[in-house]
Amino acid sequence: ETGVTQSPTHLIKTRGQQVTLRCSSQSGHNTVSWYQQALGQGPQFIFQYYREEENGRGNFPPRFSGLQFPNYSSELNVNALELDDSALYLCASSLQGAANEQFFGPGTRLTVL
């Protein structure tokens, strides 16, 4: 059974650029959630995708957007990067339904200069 994988591991961008982060969910999972973890902070929920549609969103601006594909993998896109977007971006997959544990990937470290 393959766990949650994320790519790339690290990424450096400059302010104003756009970035795409990728996540492959664990086998059998149909739901992907994205979290932002700034340095020294806990993860913050960005949004969740289920059946290729957004299924809940945290307090993040529209320049944070996502996709989920038929194979349940997912992308997080961030436009017009700002310095404060520098963070570890975590993807978690789960099987939709109450009490189903979500499993986290190792994250993508994004640095915005």
Partner 1 sequence: AQSVTQPDIHITVSEGASLELRCNYSYGATPYLFWYVQSPGQGLQLLLKYFSGDTLVQGIKGFEAEFKRSQSSFNLRKPSVHWSDAAEYFCAVGSNTDKLIFGTGTRLQVFP
Task: Report the interface residues with partner 1, using CB under 8 A.
Answer: 4, 31, 33, 35, 40-45, 48, 56, 58, 90, 92, 94, 98-102, 104-107
Q: Where does residue 70 rank: exposed (0-12), middle (13-18), buried (19+ CB within 10 A)?
A: exposed
CB of 15 or CB of 96, closer to partner 1: 96
The residue assigned the tokens 């990937």 is 105
Distance CA 91, CA 74 (A): 9
- Please state the closest distance from residue 16 (CB atom) to partner 1, in A: 29
Residue closer to partner 1 by CB (options 49, 112) is: 49
